[in-house]
Amino acid sequence: MKLLFDAQGGDHAPEEIVEGAKLAQRELGIAVGLIGNTDVLAPMAESIPLHHAGEVIENNEDPAMALRRKKDASLTKGLALVKDGTYDGFISAGSTGALLAGGLFIVGRIPGIKRAVLPTPIPTVKGTTYVVDSGANMDTTPELLLQFAVMGSEYAKVKGIDNPRIGLLNVGEEAHKGNALVKKTYELLQDSDLNFIGNVEARTLFEGICDVLVTDGFAGNVLLKTTEGVASYVFHEIKASLAGLEPHEQQVVAKILGGFKHKVSYEEVGGALLLGINGILIKAHGSSKRRAIFNAAKEAQTIYEQNIVTHIKQVMEDL
């Protein structure tokens, strides 16, 4: 596999992106490349191939307009290198909106897909739940949410979950609860061939009640960031309370917390596939450091080896 890294995207670019790419090259055995300002990258890149890009698309820019204006941006040129087959996949911790828009306009959608989604894994007491969408689409329709559910179900199957249980994020479990979007989506999911289990409240998500949680990108992103914030707060409070324990007791608690933190950390997830794009595009967290970038590369390699993009194509053709 040949994997390209956006060395100018994210809060810790370029140093942490470069180091993450080196880890991927060394530990995963994949061919990597970096795109960004080659004058800056050359001293730290060692033997990694470089592609020059003199501009950066910032998070505060309008994605579609930035893609049109900034032809020399790392994200714009990087996606073109995936489109022409130079690389099999692309990882960016930069603007989510720009990566989505570029994926649609430059790389292209899988035939039959109207929107791409971010299927983000959430650890639960029973395994993993994939949240679709987790930030790519702020405004949706019931028909789009149904398509998100279809893609999420197929993605979960490829990840080893037989007959995935589909839940709809809502403010209550009853069918009559929610806004107009959720109520109509409930009807469509109920009439589909999917394994739809009904509405799911955010507070029951971590019980592992469903394998795929369907929602619009706005609510999904709020859910994920709230989860991150609560986890961070809990760790802070527990860490502060350790001061009153004996050293050997602190070691025991620290070991337990370390395992839990490993499960909930975005660094261990690495990144999420833009599901529905005709290529492997991985959106890494904006705060990603080398470990997270390495795990994003690991996810890209798994997607490549399991041929997930082709699988989704076949499903859409059958539909």
Domains and CATH numbers, the chain: 1-116+274-319 (3.40.718.10), 117-266 (3.40.718.10)
Q: What is the pLDDT of residue 260?
A: 55
Mean pLDDT of the chain: 90
Confidence band, pLDDT 50/70/90 cuts, at residue 36: very high
Q: What is the pLDDT of residues 51-65, one digit of tens each?
A: 999 999 998 899 889
Tell me: pLDDT of 135 over 80.
Answer: yes
User: What are the tokens at 85?
Assistant: 């087959």
Q: What is the pLDDT of residue 32?
A: 97
β-strands 271-273, 280-284 pairing: antiparallel
Tell me: pLDDT of 262 over 90.
Answer: no
In the chain, % of residues over pLDDT 70: 93
User: What are the tokens at 88?
Assistant: 């099999």
Q: What is the model's pTM?
A: 0.83
What are the beta bridge partners of residue 2?
31
What are the beta bridge partners of residue 200?
169
Q: What is the pLDDT of residues 81-128, one digit of tens each?
A: 999 999 999 999 999 889 999 999 999 999 888 889 989 888 898 889
